Each structure stands twice: as structure tokens, then as C-alpha cells.
Amino acid sequence: MLFNLPNLLTLARIAAIPLVLASMAAGSGGLLDSGWSHWIAALLFIAASVTDYFDGWLARRWQQVSRLGRFLDPIADKLLVGSVLLLMCAFGTLQGVHIVAALVILCREIMVSGLREFLAELRVGLPVSSAAKWKTAIQMLALAVLLVGDAGPPWVMPLGLALLWASAALTLWTGYDYLRAGLKHMMEDPAALPPPRPIGAAQRPEEDRRRAKGRSA
């Protein structure tokens, strides 16, 4: 069953993106109290972030792991984080040197996605490290705190920025670890690698035999 509860939770993470945007835009445009808009956006983001744990946990517990879920899960995470970072840059939450931290996070996500795609062609997995899990947790916490921003106490923004830079530092560390793990496969002689098999190649001999049988008949 493709649209089981774990997959629906993953899709909800993507669906939360326009809701967070609408809340921030409503506060900026005067349609909603600025303080309320920040808190609503933060709560929506927190709810979406929590699904990142429960979709995988439920899929394993209920034995509902699917190819769709494995495909959507990392994409949903990157869409959520990337969208909120761009949103905060657009609305002025992140300014000056703090935009560099956002760029580091975004560039790392793009690099790791490309690396996973490259290694997938070689049938090589790239497991998530424990440091990467900590990076994700701190990153989600930082973005939730920053979404509250000036609507919270005075210490909220400094705390959020400190967590964002901590996340950026872990992003560089884990990105380097992933790149180092992938470099040994990149440096292999292409001639020693098996050629990629076209889609449907396994079925072609059987189809050829059927056609030959039809012609002989």
C-alpha cells in the first residue's frame, strides 16, 4: 500500500512548507499579528519535523517500508529545511554573515544528494552517520527557534543563531565524511566497473525467444 500512514506523514512534511510560508507572509503583510505568525510558523515547522522520526519508526514497526517512502523521506527533509532557510533570508530573519551558515547547509545538502545519486549507480550505499543525525536534530531545533525570532524573549534570536552555526559546523564535518567515503569509489578505474544495464534488458532475451517462436510457428 503506497499511501500508508508513514508515507502520509512524509507527504505532510512537504505539505507544511506552503503553510509555513503563508503564515510568515500573513504576518509580514499585516493580515495576521506578527507575533502570532511567527509562533504559528514555528509550531507548523516543529510538527513537520517530528514526522521525520515517526514516519521511519512506524514504517519499520508496522513493516510498511516502501520504495516510495525511501524515495520521499530524504527529499522531504531537504525541501523543508531548504525552503525555511530561503524564507528566513527573504524575510530578513537571517542577515549579513549569518546567511553564510544557510549557504553552507544548502550546499552540503546538494552535494550529498549528488553523491548518493552517483553511488546508487554503482550500487553502493551511503548510510546515515550518527553525527549526521545530530546535525539534523540541531538544525531542526535552530530553525524552529529562529522562526519564533523576535516574537519570543530577547535571548531567542541569539540562541537560534548559535544553534544554526553549530549545525553549519556539523554540516561541514559530516559533508566531508560523506565525500571522503565516496572519493574512493570515484577514483576507481571506470573500465573495471560493470557497464550500466539498460532498463528492461533482463526481459529482452525472453522477448526475443517469444518472437522467434512466433516466427517459426
Whether the Cβ atoms of residue 79 and residue 14 lie closer than 8 Å to each other: yes
Handedness of CA 173, 166, 104, 107 (dihedral sign): positive
Domain spanning 5-188 has what CATH number?
1.20.120.1760
Residue closest to 190 by CA, chosen among 98, 122, 132, 134: 122
Q: What's the pLDDT at 4?
A: 82
Other beta carbons within 10 angstroms of residue 78's beta carbon come to: 16
Q: What is the pLDDT of residue 1?
A: 58
Q: Calculate the dihedral angle through the C-alpha atoms of 113, 179, 124, 184, rounding to the nearest 10 degrees.
A: 150
3-state secondary structure of 129: coil
* pLDDT interval class at 203 (50, 70, 90): very low
Question: Is the Cα torsion angle 91, 96, 98, 104 positive or negative in sign?
Answer: positive
Rounded Cα gap, residues 180 and 11, in angstroms:
32
pLDDT, tens digit (0-9, with 9 covering 90-100), for 89-119: 999 899 999 999 999 999 988 888 888 777 7
Cα gap 127→10, rounded to integer Å: 19
Range with the lowest mean pLDDT among 29-33, 168-172, 210-214? 210-214
Break the chain into its structural domains and give their ranges: 5-188
pTM of the model: 0.79
Residue-level length of the chain: 217
Range of 24-28, 66-70, 116-120, 138-142 with top mean pLDDT: 138-142
